[in-house]
Amino acid sequence: MSITFHPEHNTLKLDTSRSSYILKIYEQGYILNIYYGAPLPDAYIPKREQRYPNASFSPSDPIIGEMGHRFRPDTTPLEYSGNGAGDFRQPCLAVRNANGDTVTDLRYDGHKIYSGKPGIPGQPSTYENTPGEAETLELYAKDPTTGIRVTLYYTVFESAGVMTRRVRVENTTDAACDIERVFSMCMDLPTMEYDMISLWGRHNHERYTQRVALHHGVQGVESRRGVSGHCYNPFMALAEKTATEENGWVYGFNLVYSGNFSALAECDFNGCTRVTMGINPVDFGWHLDPGEFFDAPEVVMVFTDAGIGEMSRIYHRFYNSNLIRGRWKTEKRPLLINSWEAAYFDFDSDKLVAFAKEAKRLGIEMLVMDDGWFGVRNRDNCSLGDWYVNEDKLPGGLTPLIERVNAEGLKFGIWFEPEMISPDSDLFRAHPDWHVHVEGRPSMPARWQYVLDVSREDVRENIWQQLYAILANNKIDYVKWDFNRNISEAGSALLPPERKKEFFHRFILGTYDLMNRLATTFPDILFENCSGGGGRFDPAMLAYSPQIWASDNTDPIERLDIQFGTSMCYPASTMGAHVSANRRAGYVTKGNVAMWGTFGYELDPVKLTDEEREIIRGQVADYHRWYDLIHYGDLYRLISPAENERRAAWMFVSPDKSEALFTLVTTRSVFRLPLIIKFRGLDPDAMYHITETDETLSGAALMNAGYWFIDVPMADKESYTLHLERA
């Protein structure tokens, strides 16, 4: 049993292979967090219930605690904090009741432990593959005054070393109420001696790694853009100040959600830390009539005492196994070439078939036709929402083109942006009220487009019918789903005043509904998510599309920071990465960097030189040879570009440690000095043969003495790979 109740201590203990989590049901029903960290045999840790008694005249309960003073919610590690009931730190839940106040005070009301993991209606979440892989605790709490009931869900994936958390709020009263704030998890740690690791950026520079020391006050990352966004990712880690890639305590938190989010850490006067994560409370609200409930999205939590790199590897294995689903979870994905950087809007059937002919000679397996095939879309200021073929470009429609591409031996993929509408479109002229807007307020365009109100069923049905007509009547193997603006003037014409704040969440639920219909109706199509590159790179999207375009920036040197940051919690199998033309560095380095990902091409194959073609044929062969190693192997980040301005290095090691691939990139050339890099993840007792140098060394030597790069080219933007096999 990974979840156990201990009546002698009134504690609940949740154990994974790497961690223990202990809850205590305290006097008068307070639910407290006692411990989260490395595995313990103990079911109870004494003196953890109460900290220093008084922050600033803090209200107290009549309970006399173990430390001899009254119980104060403000200085207590509450497992899920309410609003306005004596705890003045970041609250998790605030419900405005029929009286108009928002005081919310939760007390224990029972629990249930069972095998398995329930899904979340209408939302993506992680899942178990086989019965018994997961165990779930439902911990019930209730506000004794208002009658609001809360279920805290904890699911333990014991062997994976992962725990997930989420929350359901139910109105069990006879009067309506309104949720004004609901986080998916709360956790209190007894110290603030941690660094916070987060991912920040912008368009073309997504998910750069930031590591800063925690300080007193509230800190964190969040989005109010309507999507998870380019600027911050719904991920946060707390690492011991001395933690490295391979050593130290690290806590990871990742929200399975694609909308507005908050990931916060508050360090209080006691030097304690409260972590909260969930839907951003700004512009959020949810009206509950009697008998209704609300489900908050899921948080995936990881703890390890083996460093930041091991936290990442736990996430990678878990997402590959328990989040991504469908045919393309395990089946090798076709190697593709995308038309965007090769042609932009300037293409026709003959040009695309010429691309396909040359791509086939290189060993590429699929041609993807990007933006510009529909409506009268010859530029980016029209036709979004008009998903019918532009026959001036593609005479006879898609079928003749697809047949010609297939005849060259390639599969065919297509681009959509289903949640968007152009003011200059047939759809907008017919239904101007269908875009996201606030009545009486002018709508502000971005990129010459508005956002469609997919919170509305009639809007979703129109999009569905258009997409279905294209996908059901043509042999399409791949869909790139794009989303190229954020949401402003957020509102829906169909929502009444008391439900206006529900819009952002309803919009995301509408997107999930559309994506789920597509993924289940067309299970053989490979879906790739995109949002101006990596503007919606989050776990929820991975439940519908097993890969996400990591960034519109395909420069291999700048991609290093993007890919290092993305790998904090997202596996290589999810990271869309392509070789493109007209960028810094040669094709060797472009290929070595893009190989850390789904791999593909973003160029005009007709314009390649003979030398470039030969390099690409070699890369295509490497893609097939190293596919499983990169997609499902363990990643070790050896030299981070964020910490070294001259180099970056990483390696993938197969799960059985029989094979490894090492990559080194020189980002800025330096005077040639001996360079020794210690490898990681190998079997110390095994002997490894290095293909490129015909050397054989032990895993212990490669990891402890390191490998000496004395004869390797170190010129600007050059790169180098080593392939190791167990001898």
User: The CATH number of the domain where 411 resides is what?
Assistant: 3.20.20.70
Q: Are residues 582 and 519 in the same domain?
A: yes
Cross-strand pairs, 636: 651
Structure confidence at residue 524 (pLDDT): 98
Taken as a whole, the chain contains a residue count of 727
Count of CA atoms in the C-beta half-sphere (13 A) of 213: 7
Domain match, 477 and 561 both: yes
Kindly name the residue from 552, 561, 622, 634 that is annotated as catalytic. Answer: 552
The answer to the question of residue 249 being in a domain is: no
- Same domain flag for 532 and 396: yes
- Measured between alpha carbons, how far is 207 from 570 in angstroms, rounded to an integer? 11
Spans of the chain below 70 pLDDT: 52-54, 63-69, 670-673, 712-713
| Rounded CA separation 710/667 (Å) | 17
Largest separation between any pair of C-alpha atoms in the chain: 84
Q: Which CATH number covers residue 664?
A: 2.60.40.1180
Q: Which phi and psi angles does 136 have, rounded to 5°?
A: -125, 140
Q: What CA–CA distance (Å, rounded) separates 59 from 70? A: 9
What is the distance between the alpha carbons of residues 660 and 363, in angstroms, rounded to a whole number?
24
d(C-alpha 215, C-alpha 273), whole Å: 10
**Calculated CA dihedral for residues 211, 214, 219, 225, nearest 10 degrees:** 10
- Tell me, what's the pLDDT at 42? 96
pLDDT tens, position by position, 243-295: 999 999 999 999 999 999 999 999 998 899 999 999 999 999 999 999 999 99
Residues 558 and 629 both lie in one domain: yes
Euclidean distance between CA atoms 487 and 72, whole angstroms: 42
Q: Do 602 and 660 have their domain in common?
A: no
Q: Are residue 528 and residue 616 in the same domain, yes or no?
A: yes
Number of other residues whose CB lies within 10 A of the CB of residue 278: 28
pLDDT attached to residue 65: 55
Residue-level pLDDT at 588: 95
User: pLDDT digits over 624-648, tens only?
Assistant: 999 999 999 999 999 999 998 889 9
Q: Is 592 in the same domain as 570?
A: yes
25/107 Cα distance (integer angstroms): 9
Instruction: Output phi, psi for 452, to 5 deg.
Output: -75, 145
Instruction: Say if 203 falls within a structural domain.
Output: no
Residue 704 lies in a domain: yes
Final residue of a structural domain among 618, 637, 656: 637
Task: Count each helix (H run) and each strand (E run) in the chain, helices first.
Answer: 12, 41
Contact call for residues 28 and 72 (beta carbons, < 8 A): no
pTM of this prediction? Answer: 0.97
Place of tokens 């809850």: 23
Domain count, the chain: 2
Strand, coil or helix: 89: coil
Q: Is 482 a catalytic site residue?
A: yes
363 and 481 within one domain: yes
Same domain, 692 and 611: no
User: Is 552 part of the annotated catalytic residue set?
Assistant: yes
Out of 592, 612, 637, a domain closes at: 637
What DSSP string describes 370-415? Answer: -S-SBTT-SSTTS-TT--SB-TTTSTT-HHHHHHHHHHTT-EEEEE
Where is the domain boundary, 620, 637, 654? 637
- The reply to whether 535 and 631 lie within a common domain is yes
Structural domain of residue 652, as residue ranges?
638-726
Instruction: Specify if 229 maps to a domain.
Output: no
In a domain, 368, yes or no: yes
Rounded-to-integer distance, Cα 581 and Cα 616, Å = 12
Decide if 97 is inside a domain. no
Judge if 362 and 387 occupy the same domain. Answer: yes
Residue recorded with tokens 């219909």:
517
DSSP codes, 26-80? -GGG-EEEEEEES--S-S--TT-S---S-SSS---EEEE-TTSSEE-GGGS-BSS
* Residue 505, domain member (yes or no): no
Backbone torsion region of residue 717, taken as left when φ is above 0, otherwise alpha when ψ lies between -120 and 50, otherwise beta:
left
**Does any domain span residue 154?**
no
Shared domain check, 672 and 597: no
Q: Which of 188, 295, 482, 561 is catalytic?
A: 482
